[in-house]
Amino acid sequence: MVKEKKLRTPLIAGNWKMNNTRAAAEALVGGLVPLVKDLVDVEVCVCPPFTALDAARKAIGDSGIQLGAQNVFWEEKGAWTSQISPDMLLDAGCKYAIVGHSETRGRFGTVDETLASRLSYFGETDATINVKAKFMLAKGLIPIVCCGETIDERKTGKTDEVISGQIKACLSGISADEIEKLVIAYEPVWAIGTGEVCETAEANRVCRMIRQTVRESFGADAGNGVRILYGGSMNDKNAEDLLEQSEIDGGLVGGAALKAESFGVICKAASFAAWNFYI
């Protein structure tokens, strides 16, 4: 059997969302460290809420786990109540920040009627995601740019159009060199937190389409270099299948990132998937 390393090192990022106090963050990372510290050819990252970044960083120690934030603002400093700047995140030890998640874009699949009028309360758009991504890159923080279609868009055959539109708008004006460094997460809105995972071949097809869109806009090197993650109900059971796909370079994991054991299994699957095996 011949082993050949894949072009891109997989990244598994745990999006904790609004979960975990400082003590819970310490316990979760403490449980994760022994499970992932010896894994090779995979980058592991946790994205706690802002309030637990410091506790997570301390628990990470020198294990090699990376730290990410769940959002960031596009100004350096000033009168922006509630916002957090890239410098603040770098100071907290972050390497990454998630932007354009469907939960901050206001693109939940279906919502409780009583929430419908507040659907876009975070109001993130392709244009603000673009400004954030550019500012982050200028500061040395790596964006994890999320994209994804709603169930209605999928059912009406608009998936590719919606996603390539999001990608072009979110990455507009970024240099090809910088595109190579950043991370894109394909997260079908209907698969997030629902237990309904996108079928592996289809997830791979959409990731390929995203890579092709990047190639057309920014050139072959940018398309080959950019890492494209899948997110949406990835767990310890389905991770291996998804991560083995040629175009899927890792995962953005929500629910299954809240338990060290399941997240550890996903990280291990990614480490294994970093290699192609030929008979």
Is the CB of 102 or the CB of 204 nearer to ligand PGA?
102
β-bridge mates for residue 3, sequence order: 277
Among the listed residues 15, 128, 130, 150, the single contact to ligand PGA using CB under 6 A = 15
Active site (annotated) includes residue 240 = no
Is the CB of 125 or the CB of 194 nearer to ligand PGA?
194
Measured CA to CA in angstroms, residue 240 lies from 69, 121, 204 at distances of 26, 35, 13
- Residue span 184-203 as binding mask against ligand PGA, x where in contact by CB under 6 A, dash where not: ---x----xx----------
Q: Does residue 106 interact with ligand PGA by CB under 6 A?
A: no
Nearest Cα to Cα of residue 107 among 164, 148, 159: 148
Q: Does residue 100 interact with ligand PGA by CB under 6 A?
A: no
How open is the CA angle 74-78-79, to the nearest 5 degrees? 100
Identify residues 168-187 at the interface with ligand PGA (CB under 6 A): 187
CA 92 remoteness from chain centre: 19
Among the listed residues 72, 229, 234, 273, the single contact to ligand PGA using CB under 6 A = 234
The DSSP string of 156-173 is TT-HHHHHHHHHHHHHTT
- Shortest distance in whole angstroms from residue 234 CB to ligand PGA: 6
Q: What is the token pair recorded at 269?
A: 């699957």
State the distance between the two ends of the chain, measured CA to CA, in whole angstroms: 5
Among the listed residues 48, 49, 225, 231, the single contact to ligand PGA using CB under 6 A = 231
Active site (annotated) includes residue 101 = yes
Residue in the shown chain whose Cβ atom is closest to ligand PGA:
254
SS3 annotation, 141-159: CEEEEEECCCHHHHHCCCH
List the catalytic residue out of 124, 149, 187, 247.
187
Q: Residues interacting with ligand PGA, by CB under 6 A?
A: 15, 187, 192-193, 231-234, 252-256
